[in-house]
Amino acid sequence: MDYILAKISSKQLLKIKCPDDCGAFLCDQDVYQILKATREVFSRYCKFKGISILSKNPNISWCVKAGCDGYMRKDLQSSNKLVCKPCSQNMCFLCKNPWHGEEMGQEAYGKG
Ligand SMILES: [Zn+2]
Ligand SMILES: [Zn+2]
């Protein structure tokens, strides 16, 4: 909350970015709602606004775990193993399945 209050006091209302770095920006009305409400509302706001932005980002993958709406971002230097922050689920960025190990891939499926 301090982050938003600081922005308001410095009159940067038009460019308040989500502190969770989901890419969403807040407008004045949003900020008002946030200040009235709790952090829970704020994160919900980020989900609504964030989903449309994140869906267009090829480096973003949604958590594979049922019931979890977390997402993971693949950095250029990291491996294909992604870890969901909310639920600690590990998953593979390439096949969007739960993590199966670094070098498995085609070989594991080709035998049989
Ligand atoms: Zn998750
Ligand atoms: Zn995979």
The per-residue pLDDT for 88 is 94
The per-residue pLDDT for 35 is 58
The per-residue pLDDT for 61 is 86
Q: Which of 6, 50, 63 is closest to 31 using CA atoms? A: 6
Residue 91 backbone phi and psi in degrees, to 5: -145, 165
The per-residue pLDDT for 90 is 93
- Ligand 2 centre from 17 Cα, in Å? 33
pTM: 0.48
pLDDT digits (tens, 9 = 90+) for 62-91: 888 888 878 888 877 678 899 998 899 999
- Ligand 1 centre from 20 Cα, in Å? 16
In order of 24, 30, 88, the CA distances from 17 in angstroms are 6, 12, 26
Rounded to whole angstroms, how far apart are CA atoms 99 and 79?
Answer: 11
In the predicted model, residues of the chain with pLDDT beneath 50 are 12-14, 107-108, 110-112
Return the structure tokens found at 98: 């739960």
